[in-house]
Amino acid sequence: MALDEALLESAPSLGQPVLRFYGWTEPAASFGYFQKHADIECMTLLRPLVRRPTGGGLVPHDADWTYSLVFPPGHAWYLLRAKDSYRRVHEWIQAAFARLNLATSLALASGKRLPGQCFEGYEMSDVLWRGQKLAGAAQRRTRAGLLIQGSVQPRCLALARADWHKAMCDEACSTQGARWVAFEPDAPLAERALVLVRQKYSQTAYNRKR
């Protein structure tokens, strides 16, 4: 969470989109910036609970594939309306799964869901597999840029995470003109992320602020 926020803050100076794949060292759950901690701790037994810098609902991170995207201001994705950037990222994910011979669909409308829980039901433009939500995301757009944080819940799919990573990158190259290069945070960006960890995301007061 801290690195994603640091990347968003640095988007103007980075000047290019950043795609980050990451995982979790232990079972956990993240919840939307505007949600109430007291409500969330009743919805899941997963711990720790961490407040995201983006909106959305509760997301379990016990076996999911997580990613983030950051776009600088002025980029075509940044200029999209929220519903359009949400749909576009899921069209990208859908196409990546198609490369792996997995047929998915995008939800045409919201389905029955449990309030506050991202993967108990679905919203319009979520990625569905056999009628269940496979991928969802949350967004935050500021003057510094656009941050999209997403989760894929592979459930019982017989696919490897690394193959999905490659399919995502290959799809962006063929349809969006992407040219990927390895990215390593420089010292100031890494230090900013550590500051956010110490002063914000690891603090009980922050995670329980609502």
Closest CA to 57 of 81, 39, 80: 39
156 counts as catalytic:
no
Residue 37 main-chain phi, psi, to 5 deg: -60, -40
Q: How far apart, in whole angstroms, are the C-alpha atoms of residue 67 and residue 26?
A: 16
Pairing status of strand 105-106 against strand 127-129: antiparallel
Contact 89, 71 (CB under 8 A): no
DSSP 96: H
Return the bridge partners of 133, or none. 128
Q: Which of 118, 156, 169, 173 is catalytic?
A: 118
Q: How far apart, in whole angstroms, are the C-alpha atoms of residue 23 and residue 34?
A: 23
Q: How far is CA 81 from CA 158, 169, 171, in A?
A: 34, 24, 22
Q: How far apart, in whole angstroms, are the C-alpha atoms of residue 22 and residue 185?
A: 14
Look up residue 100 and give its amino acid. L
In degrees, to the nearest 5, what angle opens at C-alpha 117 toward C-alphas 71 and 122? 70
Enumerate the active-site residues: 118
